[in-house]
Amino acid sequence: MDCILEMRNTSKRFGEVEALRSVDFAVERNEVVGLLGDNGAGKSTLIKIVTGYYQPDSGEIYFNQEKVEGLSVARARQLGIETVYQERALADLQTLWRNIFMGRELTTRLGFLDVRAMKRETQKLMVESMGFTSSAVASDAVVRTFSGGEKQGVAIVRALHFDAELIILDEPTMGLSLAETRKLLDFVRGIKKAGKSCIFIDHNVFHVYSVADRVVVLDRGAVAGEFSTKDITLDQLMDKMYRVAQTGSLD
Amino acid sequence: MTSRVEDHAGAITRRQLRQASVARFARRYGLQIGILCVFLAIWVLFIVGAPTTFLSPQIYAAYMSTIPFFAVVALPLTMAVIAGETDLCFPSIMAVGMVVFVAIFKPTGNVVLAFFVCLLAGFLAGLLNGIIVVKVGIPSLVTTIGTQFFWRGVVLVVTNARGTSLVPLRGTILQKALVGRLAGYVPAQMIWAIVVGVLVWVLLNRHKFGAHVYLIGDNVDSARLMGVNVDRTRMMVFAIVGLAAAFGGVLSSLEVSYLWVTVGEGQLLRTLAAVFLGGTSVFGGTGTILGTFIGCFIIGTIEAGTVAIGLTGFWIQLIYGLIIIISVSMHSVLSRRLA
């Protein structure tokens, strides 16, 4: 199996709460994995470990079959892991180009910003990758003035720009309109076509089922089951999700 | 026919584009233009009220000699406020730096060495604020109230509350370079205030450090998620304010050739007022160096101006208060309108 990411035996607790209990989780190369589960199932904790934001209490992480120790946010981004967070991790009062290059500014060796290059790159990204033609979306515009969909688009373009190998989408459809959601799902299919991998987290089973190759169901900090979307119908999946929520077991 | 329709559509797009860019311009520079207008209004008022004073060059020489003492701190302090922090400790660091200066100068007689060790002391005292805020996790308002008392106390205990004459420093290179008079008129400290302003502007707007300062003040969680080294940046901001405070202490002590152990007292509120007058948001994430620079001049001109137009000194605080409230309200309204 050609895994781009593999987590073995990962556990994490916050005080009394066991957020993750010995979770094994893997993403194959060029695979879209849907991560499903109720509130508090541990989806976000799992993701924040992959992105280096949380350190796991125990367990091993392999990226491209190589073991990674002490993963930090900067290291994860270097490895090609990019995340679009549900909080829409944008700085609202800053300009678009500052948001696109947040934490990874183009600089000279002494750390001075190459403002012109960043603005040019931003403008190009907006037109080419997102097809934004609205006059409000300029590289100098302040992000606060954007619509919800436009903001989500910015977060996604930011993830794409840096040659990500693995793109993580954490509840990306939250607060999006119907048209915006469809555009987003198309975008996930685009990731697959481009040969990259993706972890797609959402409450909405329909959205996940329509784009994922494989679905992993988390429940109360443990993996309750996984299915290939080829082998299961949407009805069966919903049935199982419902049973997990009720009883904590799939059958 | 079709081509006319297209022309029409094209014209609308162009107009919309122009409107959008006008709106962007207003958003970007609105607050700075606003505060500049306030400054000019006050200035015109003073010229009309006291033409003999405000049309002669002496008053401007006086302004240029006193405003830099707090301007060199207000400019970097803007950076701290943009990062969502506050610093009330700098008046005491001004005194600490000077005590260190004298302690090095007396035995060695080396002014340059004394100057740089003094700046280092200010840097370290500021860094300590940063460490307490970031590593211990105490809000900066509380931390710097504590360290403000502590460092002033250290100064009083070490010096026995006695000042030191700095007359031996007169005529040294350092004294001439920092507080001398260019062409017998322009105080050198004014040049230094401009230098500090330019340095801080470059750091804030054209360097990674400043980019991170804005991001931290705006949305600290997203900055962290995007891999910004939040802790180090926040600590450095306090250290830079400390460094600037020590510099301000040297300027104001050398100007009067005496180390008062109370140096810096009375600068706290006017320095903070200059930052907020300049349109820097107390909530962090926005603020400009030019705004603070103008804010310093507004604060600096009111005192002498009030007396010159014939009001008694009792009016000064009332006018300070009025101008601060009016300007900050203007910023608040403008930033909502321009959003």
Phi and psi at B83, nearest 5°, equal -75, 5
Chain A from 66 to 105: CB within 8 A of any B CB: 72-74, 77, 83, 85, 87, 89-94, 98, 102-105
Contacts of A90 in chain B (CB under 8 A): 219, 222
Contacts of A74 in chain B (CB under 8 A): 227
- What count of residues does chain A have? 251
Contacts of B209 in chain A (CB under 8 A): 111
For residue A85, give Cα distances in angstroms to A88, A172, A173, B18: 5, 7, 11, 34
Identity at B187, one-letter amino acid code: P
Banded pLDDT at A3 (limits 50, 70, 90): confident
Q: Is A87 in Cβ contact with B224 (below 8 Å)?
A: no
pLDDT in tens, B67-81: 999 999 999 999 999
- The percent of residues in chain B predicted with pLDDT above 70, rounded, is 94
Long-range pairs of A174-178 with CB within 8 A, sequence gap ≥ 24: A174/A86, A175/A148, A176/A148, A176/A149, A176/A152, A177/A148, A177/A149
Report the pLDDT value the prediction gives residue A177, as an integer from 0 to 100.
Answer: 79
pLDDT in tens, A200-216: 998 888 888 889 999 99
Instruction: ipTM value, please give it.
Output: 0.79
Report the pLDDT value the prediction gives residue B9, as an integer from 0 to 100.
Answer: 43
Residue entry with tokens 């958003």: B27
pLDDT in tens, A85-97: 765 678 888 988 9
- Range of lowest pLDDT (A104-113, A126-135, B155-164): A126-135
Phi and psi at A163, nearest 5°, equal 55, 50
Whether the Cβ atoms of residue B293 and residue B76 lie closer than 8 Å to each other = no
Contacts of A143 in chain B (CB under 8 A): none
Element (H, E) at B5: helix B2-49
Domain range summary for chain B, segments of one domain joined by +: 2-338
Q: Where are the beta strands (DSSP E) in chain A?
A: 3-14, 17-28, 32-36, 58-63, 66-68, 81-84, 166-170, 197-201, 214-219, 222-228
Residue A136 has pLDDT above 80, yes or no: no
- What count of residues does chain B have? 339
What's the whole-number mean pLDDT along residues B114-127? 97
Q: Which candidate in B25, B215, B230, B334 is best for mutational testing of the A interface (most A CBs within 10 A)?
A: B215
**From the CA of B260, how many Å to the nearest CA of chain A?**
39
Output the furthest CA–CA distance in chain B (Å, rounded): 91
A151 or A10: which leads in pLDDT:
A10
Residue entry with tokens 């609308």: B12
Whether the Cβ atoms of residue B147 and residue B128 lie closer than 8 Å to each other = yes
Cα separation, B319 vs B330, in Å, equals 16
Candidates B206, B215, B285; nearest CB to A102: B215
What is the DSSP code string of B179-233?
A: H-EETTTEEHHHHHHHHHHHHHHHHHHHBHHHHHHHHHHH-HHHHHHTT--HHHH
Domain made up of A3-88+162-247: CATH architecture? 3-Layer(aba) Sandwich (3.40)
In chain A, the N- to C-terminal Cα span, in Å, equals 28
Q: Is A90 in Cβ contact with B222 (below 8 Å)?
A: yes
Element (H, E) at B259: strand B258-259
Q: Which candidate in A98, A135, A139, A151 is best for mutational testing of the B interface (most B CBs within 10 A)?
A: A135
Contact with chain B for residue A138, Cβ under 8 A:
yes
- Range of lowest pLDDT (A229-243, B73-87, B186-200): A229-243
Whether the Cβ atoms of residue A86 and residue A174 lie closer than 8 Å to each other = yes
What's the whole-number mean pLDDT along residues B114-122? 97
**From the CA of B216, how many Å to the nearest CA of chain A?**
9
Whether the Cβ atoms of residue B241 and residue B87 lie closer than 8 Å to each other = yes
Candidates B24, B27, B228; nearest CB to A103: B228
Residue A23 has pLDDT above 50, yes or no: yes
A241 or B14: which leads in pLDDT:
A241
Candidates 1.10.3470, 1.10.287, 1.10.3300, 3.30.750; CATH matching B2-338: 1.10.3470
pLDDT in tens, A160-198: 777 788 989 888 887 777 877 887 888 888 888 888 899
Contacts of B336 in chain A (CB under 8 A): none
B148: Cβ–Cβ under 8 A, 6 or more apart, which residues?
B88, B89, B91, B92
In chain B, the N- to C-terminal Cα span, in Å, equals 40
Residue A40 has pLDDT above 50, yes or no: yes
Residue B4 has pLDDT above 50, yes or no: no
pLDDT in tens, B155-188: 999 999 999 999 988 888 899 999 999 888 899 9
